[in-house]
Amino acid sequence: MKIKYLGRVDYSSTLDAMKAFSTHRSADTEDELWICEHPPTFTEGQASQATHLLRACDIPVVRTDRGGQITYHGPGQVVAYPLMNLKAAGYFVKEFVFRIEEAVLRSLRAWGVTGHRIVGAPGIYIRLDDPHGHSQLQVTAKNAPPNFNGLGKIAALGIKVSRHCSYHGLALNVNMDLAPFSYINPCGYAGLQTVDLSTIGVTIAWEEAATIIAARLQSALSP
């Protein structure tokens, strides 16, 4: 997988570029991993509802074809777009999502942070009262709604797969202005708190965080 560091780039033009790459790639096209950050932008997934944008502001809202609901992108967030041929890689969408989340969990461990998965709510979460502790989350009853009590979301995930080829990806919060998350129901969940690494006492440069998450993704997504 070829890693490309794009810097800070406009969201809409990057989305157009991802679509073009996925549409025109052939069976021999090398997979790529795009690492970037975006200017302030709200993005809505296919399931997003207008009511999840709680207040009007000057931050643009972009409707997309990825899965999921509304989220926020902004400076200080590492955004990673794995552009992969999943058929060639040899796994299906569910495992693809698992591997992306695993890369985030491994990255957080490198910084002494314990991340958690929640069934039915893609992304990675941390305990607000003990982000460095290793105790497991309490298992919820089968078919129960996700329980976010005491948790903060540190990484969001939304993907699109067309003709076995993936685009969109994940966003890891490093050192951001988190206020815009209060303008929305993050990922469609009212009251879900969003955090970044700086909030929980981890000081790391964007470039270093980007390099680590890229390496973990490259490893976790290998066929």
Q: Does residue 187 carry a catalytic annotation?
A: yes
List 36, 57, 165, 187, catalytic entry? 187
pTM of the predicted structure, to 2 decimals: 0.93
pLDDT in tens, the chain (223 residues): 999 999 999 999 999 999 999 999 998 999 999 999 999 999 998 888 888 888 889 999 999 989 888 999 999 999 999 999 999 999 999 999 999 999 999 999 999 999 999 988 899 999 999 999 888 887 666 677 878 889 999 999 999 998 899 999 999 999 999 999 999 888 888 888 999 999 999 999 999 999 999 999 999 999 8
Classified as helix, coil or strand, 163 is coil
Number of structural domains found in the chain: 1
Structure-token pair, residue 157: 């995930």
CATH code where residue 64 lies: 3.30.930.10
